[in-house]
Amino acid sequence: MPGLLQEPQFKHFTIKEIGLTFTAEVEGVDLSQDIPQEVFDDILKAIAKYGVLVFRDTGLDDTRHVEFSKRFGELDDIKPYLTNGRKARFPYYELFDAGNLDDEGNPIALDSQRSHYNKGNGLWHVDSSFNPRRASYSILLAHIIPPPGTGGETGFADTRTAFDELPADLKAELLSNDYVAAHSLFHSRKLGSPEFFAHVNPMEHKMARHKLVQRHEPSGRMNLYVARHAHHIEGLEKRDSDELLDRLIAHATQEKYTVEVPWNGVGDLVMWDNRCVMHRATGGSFEGRYRRDMRRTTVHDGSSTAWGLNEKGDVKLGFPQTF
């Protein structure tokens, strides 16, 4: 049962399962210190099994956050997104700003462009599916969290179990057609705030192509690689494509496949595997009122399907932001 300490599965720490089918809290690992290889190997086994791992009160700073993340593979960086004069807020380009602070450290205004841009983060998605080379792990660290009861949790959805439990006819359709979805950051921004981004036409921008169903190599399980970045399924009429994407996301985000992870304090760290879970920001009354400083590293996928059907070495494009 979720919440109960499980029988020992890993030699170097304890796992407390949170969700019915995925997500677990790791107890007994000090991430602020150098982690022996055998402990790190157990972390890899745990993230392959659970898809989402929660570490509380890690004591990590920016440097240790980046160093820990680099052990999982090559890191993405924010340089392509620093458009229109936008400056990096943090001392490492590998740190993505997942918070709500402006350059002066104040909560961004609700009517700002950045607030409208961030609304897309409230949709179910996987990080970097809109890039030619997708992401494997996202590793998010809390530096400032809003007061309890004001929101800010992060939701996760188990897309492996969701695939396992698809209706038989739908699963057969997906497997026999081997669908490819075209993903676009412009599309998800427009979905999140359609009036503000009414002028944006995703079709005017290059999209990343990834198969809708593929094997999650670390676990060997099949996965439904779907997200609100997905603009369309190739080969289908728009109505049919929209209906299928909506149906799959609705199926994968049923309550039995989802978990909301609360942020209890500064130093909490959550990592997830974008190749087998979706996630979303849940928002809350803190927005526009209280500070929320969250910093994320993103690991480039190193699996055989990392580049999807895209040209290897292709360069990702940043969103033309003015905030």
Q: What is the CATH number of the domain that holds 140?
A: 3.60.130.10
Can you read off the two tokens belonging to residue 106? 């104040």
Provide the pLDDT for residue 89: 85
Cβ atoms within 10 Å of 300's Cβ, excluding its own: 18
Residue 154 lies in a domain: yes
Residue 230 is inside which H or E element, if any? strand 230-233
Can you read off the two tokens belonging to residue 1? 């049962």
Residue 320 lies in a domain: no
Provide the pLDDT for residue 4: 46
Can you read off the two tokens belonging to residue 41? 């190997």
Residue 253 lies in a domain: yes
* 104-105-110-111 Cα dihedral, nearest 10 degrees: 20
Provide the pLDDT for residue 5: 42
Residue 59 lies in a domain: yes
Contact between 2 and 32 (Cβ < 8 Å): no
For the entire predicted model, the pTM comes to 0.94
Q: With 0-12 CB in 10 A as exposed, 13-18 as middle and 19+ as buried, what is 316?
A: middle
Count of structural domains within the chain: 1
Mean pLDDT in each 10-residue stretch from start to end of the chain (323 residues)?
53 94 97 95 97 98 98 94 75 95 94 94 97 97 97 98 98 98 97 97 97 98 98 98 98 98 98 98 96 98 97 74 40
Q: What does the alpha-carbon distance between residue 12 and residue 278 come to, in Å, rounded to a whole number?
A: 28
- Expressed as residue numbers, the domain containing 77 is 14-300
Q: What does the alpha-carbon distance between residue 139 and residue 66 come to, in Å, rounded to a whole number?
A: 9
